[in-house]
Structure 1
């Protein structure tokens, strides 16, 4: 995102989202076999850096909005509550959370707040239950 820096609101929302997880390599063990090499992408996210340059984050180069988040194979272990700061990123179009461990939690209805979403990948991530109709 060379044209514009990530806004403080977006950066803050992403850093709060990061706090939901512990990073455990076994959470993405299937990746290394079938998909790609896993790594804890969020570990590189630092408060003083432009979030558009963070591993797994894609920004609109004109407006600086976060439009993509690829956290597949990122060793994530934890839950995503319906009030998660992830859902305060209204411009996200592509969200990939595949091959992590969400601890058999329900798929949050909060995903329906991401009105611009065109791609949502929750494959092999230990979610439980059905996909909420609101998504």
Structure 2
């Protein structure tokens, strides 16, 4: 019961202090912005330079995307435990060339990243970095 009363008293004191600070805040801010005897500053906003904003964003995007483009996707690449090192191929009877999984899994089992993949690699080349 004593702990609950102490907690309630503490919250009331904090609330009162916040109310006094909020009430004194605008008056104190007005005194600081308008010193006596000095002219009020005139502020004119300049138009934003969107070229610099876009240039900075694309420059930073290159540094953020580059590690993802070079990320090693297969942690067991070039080891004896690599499950992507195995390939399966099917040879149809009518003379069509074999269709297999090796073209898709060999870039990853060699230790490559997303840039090594057949379809994803050229698409990642469009990103900066």
TM-score by structure 1 length? 0.24
Q: Over alpha carbons, which structure has the higher Rg?
A: 2
Q: Flag the structure with higher strand content.
A: 1
TM-score by structure 2 length? 0.24
